Amino acid sequence: MQGSANLNIMIKAARKAGRSLVKDFREVENLQVSRKGAGDFVSRADLAAEHILREELLGARPTYGYLGEETGEVKGEDPTRRWIVDPLDGTTNYLHGMPHWAVSIALEHKGQIVSAVVFDPAKDEMFFAEKGAGCWLNDQKRLRVSGRHQIVDSVFATGVPWGTKRTLPATIRDLSRLMPECAGVRRWGAASLDLAYVAAGRYEGYWEREMHSWDFAAGMLLVSEAGGMVGPIREGRDPLEDGEILVANPDVYDRFAKIIREV
């Protein structure tokens, strides 16, 4: 796929940050780590990766805004465009030596996500999409969501709340209703990769509550450009503003949404 200039900037930045993360991952037991809250960690690797991403993205597009997990928001001269970045999605996996984590970059234009990159450096999988141009893996394979038609044959992913998050009872309720009807639910601890896996047809759907926009901004575009359906858990809300998201392939979306939205 021939991407736009902005997409090429994003891919280059993700690869550069990924190289830094891989280098630190090889010596993960020696990383300096601090705790932001219960179950919420930040390491030297997160901060180094975000420094790289800010330099690359704002260096190439200095008028754009920037929102990053570790360093917060920078207002840009251009109020219509903003980078939304998670330099290391899956920090807990990373710090425990589990190779399931990603760099996530989205470009927002007038409130809509128009370009997205989710890079898994450990597996060298680069998922990317642009609005209206489809979703791709490693510049070779155009992705489509799964073609499974029945909930009973479907595998879903979610995140289980930790620390002080208040949505654990709702997630347990979701699981108690969904698991008897489906083929399984996975909890891998990296929302951007869960969404990328829905786009790639590896999962049929994904849902999660109490998130930040950098957790899923890129992933939601991957899913929609791969032919999936993206919506809020509470109908009528904007996922990016509400911090809740529900996605699935079109064949199981309605039934899946009904199960998760049931009060």
List residues forming the annotated binding site for Mg(2+).
69, 86, 88-89, 215
Residues forming the annotated binding site?
69, 86, 88-89, 215
Among the listed residues 227, 230, 248, the one whose alpha carbon sits nearest the alpha carbon of residue 239: 230
Please state the length of the chain: 263
Q: Record the tokens describing residue 153, joined without a space.
A: 């044959």
List phi, psi (to 5°) of 239: -55, -40
C-alpha 182/C-alpha 178 separation (Å) is 6
C-alpha 243/C-alpha 71 separation (Å) is 19
Residue identified by tokens 């680069």 is: 126
C-alpha 70/C-alpha 46 separation (Å) is 7
Among the listed residues 113, 86, 115, the one whose alpha carbon sits nearest the alpha carbon of residue 101: 86
Per 3-state DSSP, the chain is made up of helix, strand and coil in percentages (nearest 5) of 40, 25, 35
